[in-house]
Amino acid sequence: MKRVDNFGAGPGALPTAVLEKARDELLSYQNKGISVLEMSHRSEMFDEIHLSAKNRLRRLMNIPEEYEILFLQGGASLQFSMIPMNFLQKGQTAAYVLTGSWSEKALAEAKKLGETRIAASSKEDGYRSIPAMNAIYSESNDAYLHITTNNTIYGTQWHVLPSHLDSPLVADVSSDILSRPLDVQSFSLLYAGAQKNLGPSGLTVVIVKKSWAEQASKTVPTMLSYQTHLQHDSRYNTPPTFAVYLLNLVLEWTEAQGGVPAMMEKSLRKSGYLYRVIDEFPDVYEGHACQEARSRMNVTFRLVNPERTKQFLTVANDYSFIGLSGHRSVGGIRASLYNAVSEESAARLAEFMRDFAQSEK
Ligand code: PMP
């Protein structure tokens, strides 16, 4: 069966091997005569899936025992609200580094709940860069400092992460989790919508330092409290069971591929193919991100002649390259190169871009 080259920003490509396994097991999981879709979330069979997914993620990311892994719902967007609800107390300030639309949205939610400050921002340059590390500092009454490690819409990424701060560090890692090593211990909380590098939509992964979660507000509604989900091992209510099952398969695939170091090498090569063409044809393509902040997950660029954008997308679609339209807020082109996008897909797109550029001359 022919599958397209999927450069969608999320939900994005999933490994074909994972989809095949899910298909093969759909009616009868491990020959047990029952689908994962039909199984109780409190059954032994599902217990195994749930635990396996947690253990694999712990291994892949070297998550220490002092941290708990939660499988929640509501997307990364609900984390924008849950974080301040739980951790922004009276008299404290929540600090946000603005590097794009998602960090702006995270800040907007915190503003509804308490005092906030902008610790640094790259808004003035159209979110082409990541603020300089020495511009970011903690203040004594910061409840936490929030960053977005990869900016899915603008195509920028933090290549050096803050490690000099006194405040608890919180990060939205939705669009680059498992694509490079992260020192989990330098964060108090990490969160990611699953629909890019982890699995399908409908599942949000949260990695939280248990001692920090204990300090959370006790007046938060039950379902919005991290303590509830910690105490019930993410099964206070019915979790998105099939999404957790697919996550487990994606993590199994990631381990078999060589884990995070292999994913990083692969993403460097894939993004390198595209950035090379962008740099080779500056009269045809214009990258959005400045060189030092270029994302290895989302490559964003425009055609210097904007009238050719539509033609680029139409011809690309004829070649079965899909998901290449830039986000509606910035336009242009965006190629998302999540872990499941093969090197061959990226190489084919690079070749197409080169041919397209040459056809313009
Ligand atoms: N943060 C980032 C970095 C994202 O890329 C996205 C979605 N593309 C979100 C948050 C919002 O995620 P969700 O749709 O899961 O709420």
Q: Determine contact, residues 156/289, Cβ cutoff 8 Å.
A: yes
Q: What is the dihedral of CA 13, 15, 18, 20, to 10 degrees?
A: 90
Q: Distance between CA atoms of 295 and 112, rounded to whole angstroms?
A: 30
Quote the ligand 1 centre to 193 CA distance (angstroms): 6
Mind listing the pLDDT tens digit for each residue in 7-24?
999 999 999 999 999 999
Dist. CA 196 → ligand 1 center (Å): 9
What's the pLDDT score for residue 361?
59
State the residue range of the domain holding 331: 258-360
Print burial letters for 250-273: b (CB count within 10 Å at least 16), e (below 16).
bbbbbeeeebbeebbebbeebbeb
Q: Whose CA is nearest to atom 5 of ligand 1?
A: 152
Tokens representing residue 11 in the block: 């939900």
192 and 294 in one domain? no
Q: Would residue 54 count as lying in a domain?
A: yes
Interface ipTM = 0.99
**Within 13 Å, how many C-alpha atoms sit on residue 1's CB side?**
6
Q: How many CA atoms lie within 13 A of 181 on its CB side?
A: 7
Q: Which among 256, 273, 307 is the end of a domain?
A: 256
How far is the C-alpha of 162 from the C-alpha of 149, rounded, in Å? 10
pLDDT tens digits, residue range 97-106?
999 999 999 9
Final residue in a domain of this structure, among 208, 227, 256: 256
Q: Looking at 65-149, list the stretches that DSSP marks H as alpha helix, in order from N- to C-terminal side.
A: 75-87, 101-113
Q: Give distance in angstroms: CA of 148 to centre of ligand 1.
A: 10
Strand order in the sheet with 285-287: 285-287, 298-303, 333-336
198 and 324 inside one domain: no
Q: Of 5, 142, 158, 172, which residue is the catalytic one?
A: 172
Q: For ligand 1, atom 15, which residue shows the shortest CA distance?
A: 75
Using a 6 Å cutoff on CB, does residue 332 contact ligand 1?
A: no
Mutate to test the pocket of ligand 1, among 82, 153, 174, 334 (most ligand atoms within 8 A of CB): 174
Residue 47 falls inside a structural domain: yes
If asked whether residues 222 and 265 sit together in one domain, one would say no
The answer for residues whose C-beta is within 8 angstroms of residue 10's C-beta and 6 or more apart is 152, 174, 175, 193, 195, 196, 201, 336, 338
- Rg of the chain, C-alpha, whole Å: 21
pTM listed for this prediction: 0.98
In the chain, which residues have pLDDT < 50?
none
| Domains of the chain: total | 2
pLDDT at 250: 98
Alpha-carbon distance 23 to 28, whole Å? 10
